[in-house]
Chains A and B, each alone.
Chain A
């Protein structure tokens, strides 16, 4: 079985982002980028399935500018076998979840994976949509926000995080699974693997050649910083704190 994993290059989660003065987006220059943390968990899960002998090949795929090659190389260094970049140089930030889902649908139809893994959301646009959209387009079962998965023959026993606790589903393969934080703890890339990853196959497909309409359905009018919080008050005792909480009326 092949496992396809979708990954996204995002601003590193430790960076404090800044909104551009012209309100068109956030500042991308001189900022550290990394693999989306949830996607890293998805890659790790795919590698574990291969190590357990249930998957033969792990293919990582990303959509974006040529810079996304570094994210794919990182996934290759972690252990993925090969990579596909769906490349759009101009305005790659305008690729929206629906467009990405359609692109991944095409890749899935060509590669015929038994399982597609994705992070549950990217930490830049926080959409939490691509996996679900892809499952619906492919008409495959979906298992979103997975915290555990066990493969049994041609079906998947999957535990997912829901607001009130956990839910367990059985999904027939092929299926689409999105990873939540608890699914696993990703490994680190070792230096020799980083060197080796440079020689692994990375195919670049221009999005313009796919025939898929990636025109945004949402027009971004502006991006603004949230209103700042009013400065706080430092208190000197628990009594004072209790008095303030009483005044605010938040304890009822």
Chain B
């Protein structure tokens, strides 16, 4: 099987989730090409050249791809699609924005958020926010997939010798234009890719108290999350929200402070590898999914953790 992996990058560095997806691509096919569409993206291409597991890096370096607009990338990728048996991207907002339209233009289904590849046509994906796992078999001639990066380990680099080929740019749509972007404080990792998440609930009591969590997060190199209750109480903005209606996360370590553990919150974080919960209520449902629980006042625990971590 020949696979085309669509790289996500910022024209400087490749997103780690693309390397997770490369592992998945290697499990699905025997030849994996990577498409890098960008502008002045030499560094990205260089880093992929030596990456193990890549047959060919196909590069389009043109100002049209300075920002990855789905419409323009689809026009570029569609004519390439027939050379492949599978098109793949990481299940990030980039992949989720791009891949479904490719699938519908090819008149094939898309299999989203794949967590396990059972065979060339059979995949496992979470449904109901991970409360069930669905195994599906595709009947299509081209498989269009996004894969959840937390489910596939990153391959070692440095042993590959990928061939680099250059593609011409394709036409672009005048009906959609990039206006600007506002990236969050880059000193802290994004929730969806963070290795450690420090999360707070209504028990934090106020927006000011979230500063304590942020202090711990910065010590651990962690992202800061919140329960819907904390968001609804106005402690933090909505993009902090972890849960079925917020972000779904699966870090190596999830530290929950003052979160009771409503179903919809658990649905967003229970795939985390290690869950630690601190709550004053010994009956809080969060303890049912926690690997380590501590019944204590989080205002006693947080300063101690900040000091010793």
Contact with B along A218-252 (1 / 0, CB 8 A): 11111111100110111111100110110010110
The answer to whether B276 touches A241 (Cβ under 8 A) is yes
- Contact string against A for B residues 57-94, beta-carbon threshold 8 Å, 1 for contact and 0 otherwise: 00000000001011100100000000000000000111
Q: Is the CB of B130 within 8 A of A226?
A: yes
B292/A235 in contact, CB under 8 A: yes
User: In the assembled complex, how far is the CB of residue A46 from the closest CB belonging to chain B, in whole angstroms?
Assistant: 19
With both chains docked as a complex, state the minimum distance between the C-beta of B213 and any C-beta of chain A, in angstroms: 15
Q: Are the C-beta atoms of B239 and A126 separated by less than 8 Å?
A: no
The secondary-structure label for the interface of chain B is mixed
State whether the Cβ of A193 lies closer than 8 Å to any Cβ in chain B: no
**Count of chain B residues near A, Cβ 8 A:** 92
Interface set, chain A 149-189, CB cutoff 8 A to B = 157, 160-172, 175, 181-182
Shortest beta-carbon distance from B197 to chain A in Å: 11
What is the 8 Å Cβ interface bit string for chain B, positions 36-60, against chain A (1 contact, 0 not)? Answer: 0000000000000000000000000
Is B171 an interface residue when CB atoms closer than 8 A count as contact? no
Task: Specify which of A96, A162, A182 lies most central, judged by the most chain B CB atoms within 10 Å of its CB.
Answer: A162
The residues in A between 81 and 129 inclusive whose CB is less than 8 angstroms from any CB of B are 96-98, 101, 123-129
Give A127-148 interface residues, CB cut-off 8 Å to B.
Answer: 127-137, 140-142, 144-145
Q: How many residues of A contact B (CB 8 A)?
A: 78
Complex: how many Å from CA A17 to CA B266?
Answer: 13
Residue A199 CB within 8 A of the other chain: no
Contact, CB under 8 Å: B128 / A14: no
Set A131, A171, A224, A238: member contacting B175, Cβ < 8 A: A171
| B179 contacts A235, C-beta separation under 8 Å | no
Cross-chain contact B295 with A221 (CB below 8 angstroms): no
Alpha-carbon distance between A134 and B250 when the two chains are bound, in angstroms: 30
Cβ A133 vs Cβ B132 within 8 A: no
A37 is an interface residue with CB less than 8 A from chain B: yes
Which chain B residues have a beta carbon within 8 Å of chain A's beta carbons? 67, 69-71, 74, 92-94, 96-105, 107-113, 122, 126-140, 173-184, 186, 190, 192-193, 196, 220, 237-239, 241, 244-246, 252-253, 263-264, 270-271, 273-276, 287-296, 300-301, 304-305, 308-309
25 contacts between A and B (CB under 8 A): A16-B263, A19-B132, A98-B109, A123-B128, A123-B244, A127-B110, A129-B112, A133-B101, A134-B104, A136-B105, A137-B105, A162-B93, A163-B94, A165-B181, A168-B179, A169-B178, A182-B238, A217-B109, A219-B137, A220-B136, A221-B135, A223-B132, A226-B271, A232-B287, A235-B292
